[in-house]
Structure 1
Amino acid sequence: MSAKVVIVDDHSMVREGLKQLLELEGDVQVIGEASDGLECLKLLETTVPQVLLLDINMPNMNGLEVLERLKEENVDFKIIILTVHDEIEFLLKAVDIGINGYLLKESDSSELKKAIFHVINGETYIQPSMIPLLNSKMVQRDHEKVKIDLLTKRELEVLKLLSVGLYNKEIGKKLEISERTVKNHISSIFKKIEVTDRTQAAVFAIKNNLINVF
């Protein structure tokens, strides 16, 4: 019995090449193809694969947006991101959303098949070359979370406001506290998140998605 796969990529030659490689030995069957995110979602209304191979860079909804939508819908099939992106941020985002596999397009067909059957069997398959960096980034993020947890609710408010460029006086006015109190909060924030100036504090806030609420 062959694994049923859907390929989503905006390049028709990539889709055709993958289809030929995967179906060569008869253990994988490509049951559908889509060229962008919206077409993918439409296709999945009538076609249910065991594994969805999903590119990131696509028009009309990118791969990560498709992944997010499908995870919200609690789909039964597995999803492997197949991409040229070896930047750790893309992998981290995919892991956060809940990916089953993440593989680079430079991988050979045997590794892709290995990934497909791994995820069908309930395992996660991450590009081996990216695992050490992923692990170190996860440890780093845990450390950053500890720092964030040290901040009081008021300190978080101050950090978010200074990170979007507000001066102490403006922060005080917005939060209805004195400028002196703002200075005290900032001093405490710097100590807790281990930074020495406002720019470093802003970078910390951006990296940890603290200011997208504003």
Structure 2
Amino acid sequence: MSGRSSPSGHPIRVVLVDDHAVVRTGLAQLLSGTDGIEVVGTAGDGAEALEVVRETGPDVVLMDLQMPGTDGVAATRALRAEGLPAQVLVLTSYSDGDRIIAALDAGAVGYLLKDAEPDEVLAGIRAVARGESPLHPRAARALLSARRPTPAEAEDASVLTVREVEVLRLVRQGLANKQIARRLGITERTVKAHLTSVFQRLGVADRTQAALWAERHGL
């Protein structure tokens, strides 16, 4: 497995977060045997993850979602609220659309499933370090099909989440994704994920049609 993978040329520093010790150990063995990736800490829950990230300053946090106490979504949200630069890549068993949206809304930049091949996990970590947003194909399908609306539902703003309504209102105002991200305190990638969901829920093809829908419905 090849060379240096981070933009700076240094190893990608990773913190592993999972409540199962056997999973953490297996991931640590996989990553530690890979050139260009360095495991700098592990945590068994979200609260511990915050402490470890503060202490070690990783590039990437490989985050489980379902954990006792502070779960992965809450931990991701806390990392973003503190302005910590580590990027969160979710690694979980859950592929339902609502959970994916919750993780992205909290600030995660990628979403992988635990049945992924080891090479897919490594590729996901490298992609996050390059500023990309890897999504497991099944997670991507779930995100796109989450609550796909009927024609009647597509005329009802209640099919949208509160955050999607906020994003749609700003689209109607003519703001670009980067401006929306700054206004709402989320990442540009999360804005794009919300817009993808909005398009699917409303049955529109692009942001212009979405803005017209918002105007028609008084948003």
> What TM-score do you get using the length of structure 1 for normalisation?
0.63
8 A contact 1:51–1:80 mirrored in 2: yes
* Larger relative contact order (Cα-Cα within 8 Å, sequence gap ≥ 6): 2
- The structure whose Rg is larger is 1
Q: Which residue of structure 1 aligns with residue 104 of structure 2?
A: 95
The structure 2 residue matched to 1:85, chosen from 83, 90, 94, is 94
Structure 2 unaligned residues grouped into runs of 5+? 1-9, 159-219
Shift >4 Å, 4+ stretches: 138-141, 143-146
List aligned pairs for 1:1-214, cutoff 5 A: 1-137=10-146, 140=149, 147-148=156-157
Three-state SS of the structure 2 residue aligned to 1:118 is helix
Q: Distance in 2 between matches of 1:19 and 1:46?
A: 18
Number of positions where the alignment pairs a residue of Structure 1 with one of Structure 2: 148
Structure 1 unaligned residues grouped into runs of 5+? 150-214
Q: Which residue of structure 1 aligns with residue 187 of structure 2?
A: none
Deviations 1:63-97 (A, max 9, x none): 11101111222221110111111222211211222
Deviations 1:163-202 (A, max 9, x none): xxxxxxxxxxxxxxxxxxxxxxxxxxxxxxxxxxxxxxxx
Q: 1:139 to 1:58 in 2, by over 3 A?
A: same
Q: 1:116 to 1:59 in 2, by over 3 A?
A: same
8 A contact 1:81–1:103 mirrored in 2: yes
Q: Which residue of structure 1 aligns with residue 216 of structure 2?
A: none
Aligned-residue Cα RMSD (Å) equals 2.1
Deviations 1:20-77 (A, max 9, x none): 1112132211000111111111222211100001111112211111011112222211
How far off is 1:146 after superposition?
5.6
Q: 1:51 to 1:148 in 2, by over 3 A?
A: same
Q: Distance in 2 between matches of 1:117 and 1:140?
A: 35
- Which one-letter code corresponds to 1:4 in the other structure? R
8 A contact 1:22–1:109 mirrored in 2: no
Q: Distance in 2 between matches of 1:78 and 1:101?
A: 9
Q: Which residue of structure 2 aligns with residue 162 of structure 1?
A: none
Three-state SS of the structure 1 residue aligned to 2:94 is coil
Q: Distance in 2 between matches of 1:77 and 1:62?
A: 17
